[in-house]
Structure 1
Amino acid sequence: MTRNLNIAIASGVVLCLDQITKAWALAALEDRIIDLVWTLRLRLVYNTGFAFSTGSGLGPVLALVALVIVGVLWSSRRRVQGIWGAMGLGGIIGGALGNLADRVFRGAAWGRGAVVDFIDLQWWPIFNVADASITIGLVMVLFHLYRSERRGSRASEETPG
């Protein structure tokens, strides 16, 4: 029960933070670019595709794929143990839901909306909080699985066969 709650809370926090920052970006960056530090700047763009703006025009398919991915991730939550694994999985689910919300609610028809991106490093594709949460969450889950696997293999080596 606690694992499910941790994953749900992490997902909800990421989803809310993503949508709040996108609302801010839509209001504040419509007609300007904000330079922050080094190459980091905030610049509003719309992405109708997926990673690196590939697949433009496939919005309804991408929305359906995102729904399936969220369902698969939620059903696999039993495999994730510990707070870091739960937070990572929650970050992935929340990020997927954040970008899905853009596709569903920011367009003229279901799945035809564009994802709002605004974090621009100028040497990497422009992204948003949802994208960052998916990436960080994936690293957290993979690290958690790696550590779990190492613990399991160590335990089997120590047990006489």
Structure 2
Amino acid sequence: MGRYAAEVSEETARAEAQAVRQRREGSLLAILFGLAALVVVFDQLTKQWAIENLSEVRAEPFIGDLISFQLTFNPGAAFGIASGTTWIFTIIAVVVAVVVIRVSRHIGSLAWTICLGLLLGGAVGNLIDRLFREPGFPEGHVVDFINYAGQFIGNVADIAIVGAAVGIALLALFGLDVDGTRHRRPTDDGEAPADVGEAPA
């Protein structure tokens, strides 16, 4: 009888732990897609503002000579890199969005949730331009307007993508996995130690 009660208690504990994980995953997914949606909306609103208010030939100072606003239509990647290969970046943006959605099924870390939300929002924000702006699908030019000291011109989506990339690099450096577990670097003898369990982030 005691053994049966212990087994029932263990099963109940596992079921409760599973329910807690599912609720946490649901909350993290809501944060991820909510953040992505906010990035997309803010990105598109600022791009529309830029189209209506900025010039392609004159920069409007914002923070001295460091940051100014100037409208440009970019056929390349973030910050105007690799122009002339628009369709390639359209495909890349689609792939990034699909990968983020697939990875999100295993989300267990708030830090990863924020990074993936920023990455998804940035990718979709620029993808909308490539799909629906001139000269047309799938080679639409991305609206850029944030001029960084005359070196690069970007937009809100670019900022989200770069921020996500930096965050993901740091998470990988510190050994935090998407599911919230933390692992250590290989030891001196070349053997990688076992995962050390869930991290609080």
Q: State the partner residue of 1:23.
A: 48
Take 1:136 and 1:109, find their aligned partners in 2: how far apart are those partners? 29
Aligned CA RMSD, in angstroms, stands at: 2.5
Q: State the partner residue of 1:34.
A: 60
Match of 1:10 among 17, 35, 38: 35
Structure 2: unaligned runs, 5 residues or longer: 1-25, 186-192, 197-201
Q: State the partner residue of 1:153.
A: 184
Q: State the partner residue of 1:86.
A: 113
Asked if the contact 1:89–1:138 (Cα under 8 Å) also holds between the matched residues in 2, the reply is: no
**Higher relative contact order at CA 8 Å, sep ≥6: structure 1 or structure 2?**
1
When residues 105 and 113 of structure 1 are mapped into structure 2, their CA distance, relative to the original with a 3 A threshold, is same
SS in 2 for 1:113: coil
TM-score by length of 1: 0.85
1:93-112 deviation digits (Å, cap 9, x = unpaired): 10010111111111242112
**CA displacement at 1:47 relative to structure 2:** 0.6
The structure with more radius of gyration: 2
Aligned AA for 1:95?
G
Identity over aligned pairs, percent: 30
Take 2:60 and 2:36, find their aligned partners in 1: how far apart are those partners? 28
Aligned AA for 2:69?
L
Match of 2:123 among 96, 103, 106: 96
Q: State the partner residue of 2:10.
A: none
Q: State the partner residue of 2:132.
A: 105
Aligned AA for 1:16?
V
Take 1:103 and 1:151, find their aligned partners in 2: how far apart are those partners? 37
SS in 1 for 2:49: helix
SS in 2 for 1:117: strand
Match of 1:62 among 52, 66, 89: 89
Of Structure 1 and Structure 2, the greater helix share is in: 1
Structure 1: unaligned runs, 5 residues or longer: none
Q: Does residue 120 of the first structure (1) align with residue 147 of the second (2)?
A: yes
TM-score by length of 2: 0.69
Aligned length: 158
Take 2:117 and 2:153, find their aligned partners in 1: how far apart are those partners? 22
Q: State the partner residue of 2:7.
A: none
